[in-house]
Amino acid sequence: MNAFKQIDIVSPEFKANPFPFFEKQRSEQPVFSTILPDKTSVWLLTRYDDVNALLKDTRFAKNKSDALAPELHKQPWIPRRFSPFAERNMLDLDQPDHTRLRSLVHKAFTPHLIDKMRMRVQSLADDLLEQVVRKGEMDLICDYALPLPLTLITEILGVPTADLDKVYKWSKVIVSGNPSNNNWGRVSAIWQFNHYLRQFFKVRRADPKDDLVSALIQAEEAGDKLSEEELLAMVFLILVAGHETTVNLIGNGTLTLLQHPEQLENLRRDPALIKPAVEELLRYTSPVFMSTERYAREDVSIHGATIRRGEMAFGVVGSANRDETVFENSNDLAITRNPNKHLSFGQGIHFCLGAPLARLEAQIAINTLLRRMPDLQLRDSIESLRWSSSLILRGLESLPVKI
C-alpha cells in the first residue's frame, strides 16, 4: 500500500499541519486515490489549476444519480449521507435544480444587504469581548469565534436565540468527521434537528415574521415555491454553512496571526489592511479545506490518472491555495498579498452564497479583537491545540488565549 493510503486525512493530527503532505503530492502525484476511514475510495486533486477546473467542470456532477449509468437508476442505492437534509440540498444539486433553488435565496445575501449588517456585527463583537475582558483569558472559539457568526445567522433566519446551544450541538455532530460516516450519534442529531426545523416551520407559517425563514416559506420566483423538503434542506444548509466556516476563519486566522507577530503588528498599526488580511488568512489557513464531493459523469483522465464514471472526487482547496506555481512564496503569510486568487469560497455555480457575510464577520471580528486585546497571546503551546476531525473543514476545537 502506498504511504498516502495509510494517512488518515480526516484525523485531528493530520489537520494540524496537512500542508507538507500535499506539497509533496502536488509535485509527485497531483491526482491520487485514497481510502477514507469508512473504507470509501475517493480521488483527490491537489494542484490549483485542477481544483479550479473541477469546481466548474460539467463532466463532474454534484448529484450522484446524475453520474450513474441509466441502468443503475433502477437499482436502489443508499444516499451518501443518511439525512433528510441531503436529498434537495442546493449544494448537492446540478442545473437546473441548483439555479432554481439559489434564485429563491440569493437576494438575502447580496453585498449591499450584508453591508447593512455592519453595525450589528460590530455591536455583537464588542458585547462578546466585554463579557470576557475581566477574566484575563478566554477560549477564543467558544467565547467569540463561534457565538458571533452563529448568533448572526440564526437572527437572519429567525431561529430563537434560546435555541442556539442545541442548534450548534446538532450541526457540530452532523458535519463532524467523515461525511460518509453514519454512526448512531449522527443519525440521532440529524433526526432531532429535522424534527426541530419542521416544528419551527409550522410556527412561522402560522405567524410569519421579518426573517429569512418566513420569506422562504412565502417565496415565489417565476411561480415556483420551495417544497417542504427543499425548505428543510435550504435552512439546514444556511444554518451550518452560515457559521461553521466562519468560526474556522476567525479561529484559524487569529492563531495564524499570533504565530506571525510581525504581520499581526502590521495589521494592528493599520486596521485598513483588514480586507487583504482576511483574504490572505482564507488562503493560508483554508477553513474549508476540501471541496464538497463531485461524481464523474464519464471517465476523466487528469495527469495520467483516470477517474471512472460514478467515482467520487474532491478538490483539495487547502493544497490549491498553497500551490507554488500560482502564489509566490506560497508557504509565507503576507497580509498585503495582491493578487490573491484563493479558492476558499469555491468557483462556478456553487460559489459560496455567504461569502460577503463571512468576509464582513471576519474583518470586524479580527480587527475588534486586535484593537481591544493588545496583549493577546496563546495560553498553551501550539502542540497542545486540538483540531476537529473533519474531511471538508479545517478548524480548532478550542483556542485558549490570555487577554
SS (HEC) of 284-339: HHCCECCCCCEEECCCEEECCEEECCCCEEEECHHHHCCCCCCCCCCCCCCCCCCC
Three-state secondary structure call for residue 147: helix
This prediction's pTM: 0.89
CA pair distance 66, 48, nearest whole angstrom: 26
111 contact partners, CB below 8 Å, separation of at least 6: 356
Three-state secondary structure call for residue 146: coil
- Look at residues 365, 367, 346 and name the one whose alpha carbon lies nearest to residue 57: 346
Q: Which residues pair with 306 in a beta bridge?
A: 301
119 burial class (0-12, 13-18, 19+ CB within 10 angstroms)? exposed
- Look at residues 233, 197, 291, 192 and name the one whose alpha carbon lies nearest to residue 86: 233
286 contact partners, CB below 8 Å, separation of at least 6: 317, 318, 321, 344, 394
166 contact partners, CB below 8 Å, separation of at least 6: 192, 196
pLDDT (tens place) for every residue of the chain, 403 residues total = 344 556 899 999 999 999 999 999 999 999 999 999 888 999 999 999 999 999 999 999 887 776 765 544 443 333 344 355 555 555 565 556 666 666 767 666 777 778 889 999 999 999 999 999 989 999 999 999 999 999 999 999 999 989 988 988 888 787 764 444 456 777 888 889 999 999 999 999 999 998 889 888 887 555 667 788 888 888 888 888 778 889 999 999 999 999 999 999 999 999 999 999 999 999 999 999 999 899 999 999 999 999 999 999 999 999 999 999 999 999 999 999 999 999 999 987 767 888 899 999 999 999 999 999 999 999 999 999 999 988 999 999 999 999 9
pLDDT score recorded for residue 26: 98
Please answer whether residues 401 and 147 qualify as being in contact, where contact means their C-beta atoms are separated by less than 8 angstroms: no
Residue 222 Cα distances to 104, 218, 282, angstroms: 10, 13, 36
Three-state secondary structure call for residue 47: coil
Q: What are phi and psi of 17, to 5 degrees?
A: -155, 80
For residue 255, how many other CB atoms are within 10 A of its CB? 19
Cell reading at 63: 448529484
Residue 28 Cα distances to 21, 141, 314, 319, angstroms: 11, 36, 18, 13
pLDDT score recorded for residue 71: 46
Domain made up of 3-402: CATH architecture: Orthogonal Bundle (1.10)
Strands 300-302 and 305-307: antiparallel
pLDDT score recorded for residue 91: 58
pLDDT score recorded for residue 1: 37
Sign of CA dihedral 367, 369, 374, 375: negative
CA pair distance 157, 336, nearest whole angstrom: 35
132 residue type, one letter:
V
Please give the sequence-ordered ranges of beta strands (E in DSSP) within 172-303, or none if there are none: 294-296, 300-302
- Look at residues 16, 96, 102, 66 and name the one whose alpha carbon lies nearest to residue 397: 16
